[in-house]
Amino acid sequence: MLTRIEIDGFKSFRNFELDIPPFLVIIGRNAAGKSNLFDAIQLLSRLAGEPVLEAAQHMRGDVVDLFHRHTAGSQVDRMSFAVEVLLDRSVTDAFGDTAEVNHSRLRYELEIELRSTGHSGAKRPYVVREAVRRLRKSDDRWMARPDVEQWKRLAVYHGGGVDLLETEQDDQGRPVFSIRQQGNQGRKRKLPASAATATVLSSLTTATDFPLLYALKRELQSWRLLHLDPSALRTPDSYDDPDSLAANGAHLANTLRRLADETGTDDRPEGALNDLSADLATVIPGVTRVRLAEDDARRQRQVEVITREEAPFSARVASDGTLRAIALLAALYDPRGAGLICFEEPENGIFPQRLAQFVRYLRTLVTRAPASKSEGSALTQLILSSHSPAILRALEPVQSDLRTDAIFLDVVTRVRRDEPRSRVSRWRSIAGDGLFAIRNAVDMGKVVGRTEIDEFEVLAELDG
């Protein structure tokens, strides 16, 4: 679970810091930086397993476009990230070895530099700093958040704030990555850092040598942006295709089949698929059930939707909104654990009158925390982004001064004496119903109040 992210020098972000609860809605107009935030999360996820250049080439734009550009056109040559995470209680590698996570609160820091490679004019990104530190319980600000009570008991702390990975200099003054063995004793493993084209995390392949670092690697790799493609959602699955939902929505049918098989009982053979159907029926008018059509002769599987007044129809003719809702619910119901899911514009295809109910279901699925530390259930987290005020209206009202489940993102001009002018993304809290206590903060522009939200709604309608 991602609990905090810091970004500097990536796209529209300079000195950006955000604490992230298990369920968060980000609203703002187009070009406010919502997609850029998701891009930063996806880049970190890819860097945990891919070389820097390869990971960067999967992002929107060229490699140089990932580095922040000033208003006058000049560009920074470094970007840095820091994330704080809550790890699951155990991690299993590709060879079946499982290691216990005895300290689940880590901070990961990464810095990347853009360098010219010669007379060709080409530029390449290199890792110049990487660090991982165990967070002390006494210093862990996340433990003071009132909206994460049921997750606090899942955190385990073992020892102090030891650096598991750090960037330092060797005897000749050359930069090296220094990796500490499990525990505080033992020799460190050192890797050269003068021309690193990949992260240290990406080099780890087993859970046995460095369990906490490998658990962090797997945590980052579990972060995903569901960018659902209607054609992928409609494509039938072969019985031999993967049974996990792809980022574009492919393999939905096989995912639902596995979901039913892993959660089914004698009394409820379809298991969580029945619950998913009930949720969908509440938010999509006329729908009563989701089922799977199995073609044993062709060894193919297809999603079917059952309605009250019509014959069953396949995913080939289902609406985009219906398929998007099925896919998102499937990801959150998955017993393997959804990890962190980023999802844009959940309101698309959902009747406005049903949107509040849909959001409540999503939030409920996220807040299914394990009952105890020993259960080992994977954690689920959901970040929704939208440029529509409808998603904000769908959230339940809060009596406190500030909302903890939603933020407002916009772009402002950054002026500093020591650097050129920039346009950067910033976030602000959204006032709750207890507005009186923070009225000064609203007046000073530090908090988004009712008046600005009303203006945002008008502008959103005009943009639409």
pLDDT at 375: 45
Picking from 78, 88, 49, the residue whose alpha carbon sits closest to that of residue 200 is: 49
Question: For residue 436, is pLDDT > 80?
Answer: no
Residue whose structure tokens are 């960037």: 167
pLDDT at 235: 94
Phi and psi at residue 379, in whole multiples of 5°?
A: -85, 150
CB contact set of 140 (below 8 Å; sequence gap of 6+): 105, 155, 157
CB contact set of 253 (below 8 Å; sequence gap of 6+): 236, 237, 292, 301, 302, 303, 315
**35-89 tens-digit pLDDT:** 999 999 999 999 999 999 999 999 988 899 999 999 999 999 999 999 999 999 8
Instruction: Decide: 87 and 102 in contact? Cβ < 8 Å.
Output: no
Task: For 26-64, give the DSSP string.
Answer: EE--TTSSHHHHHHHHHHHHHHTTS-HHHHHHTSSS-GG
**349-376 tens-digit pLDDT:** 888 888 998 998 899 888 875 544 444 4
Picking from 162, 49, 63, the residue whose alpha carbon sits closest to that of residue 103 is: 162
Instruction: Decide: 341 and 332 in contact? Cβ < 8 Å.
Output: yes
Instruction: Decide: 25 and 386 in contact? Cβ < 8 Å.
Output: yes
SS3 assignment, position 23: strand
Question: For residue 182, is pLDDT > 80?
Answer: no
One-letter-per-residue 3-state SS of 270-317: CCHHHHHHHHHHHHCCCEEEEEEEEECCCCEEEEEEEECCCCCEECCC
Picking from 338, 375, 371, the residue whose alpha carbon sits closest to that of residue 89 is: 375
pLDDT category, 434, cuts 50, 70, 90? low
Annotate 169-187 with b (16+ C-beta within 10 A) or e (fewer): eeeeeeebbbbbeeeeeee
Phi and psi at residue 321, in whole multiples of 5°?
A: -65, -40
This prediction's pTM: 0.92
Question: For residue 124, is pLDDT > 50?
Answer: yes
pLDDT at 371: 45
Query: What's the CA angle centered on 30, arms 29 and 31, to 5 degrees?
Result: 115
Question: For residue 337, is pLDDT > 50?
Answer: yes
CB contact set of 32 (below 8 Å; sequence gap of 6+): 387, 409, 410, 411, 425
> Whole-angstrom Cα distance, residue 403 to residue 278?
29
**253-294 tens-digit pLDDT:** 999 999 999 999 999 999 999 999 999 999 888 889 999 999
Strand-pairing partners, residue 115, are: 124
More confident residue, 399 or 321: 321
Instruction: Decide: 132 and 163 in contact? Cβ < 8 Å.
Output: yes
Exposed, middle or buried: residue 454 (CB in 10 Å: 0-12, 13-18, 19+)?
exposed
> Whole-angstrom Cα distance, residue 126 to residue 105?
27
Exposed, middle or buried: residue 428 (CB in 10 Å: 0-12, 13-18, 19+)?
buried
Percentage of residues of the chain with pLDDT beyond 70: 91
CB contact set of 149 (below 8 Å; sequence gap of 6+): none
Picking from 39, 80, 68, the residue whose alpha carbon sits closest to that of residue 56 is: 39
Exposed, middle or buried: residue 1 (CB in 10 Å: 0-12, 13-18, 19+)?
buried
pLDDT at 302: 95
Instruction: Decide: 79 and 44 in contact? Cβ < 8 Å.
Output: no
Instruction: Decide: 78 and 128 in contact? Cβ < 8 Å.
Output: yes
For residues 171-187, give the mean pLDDT.
78
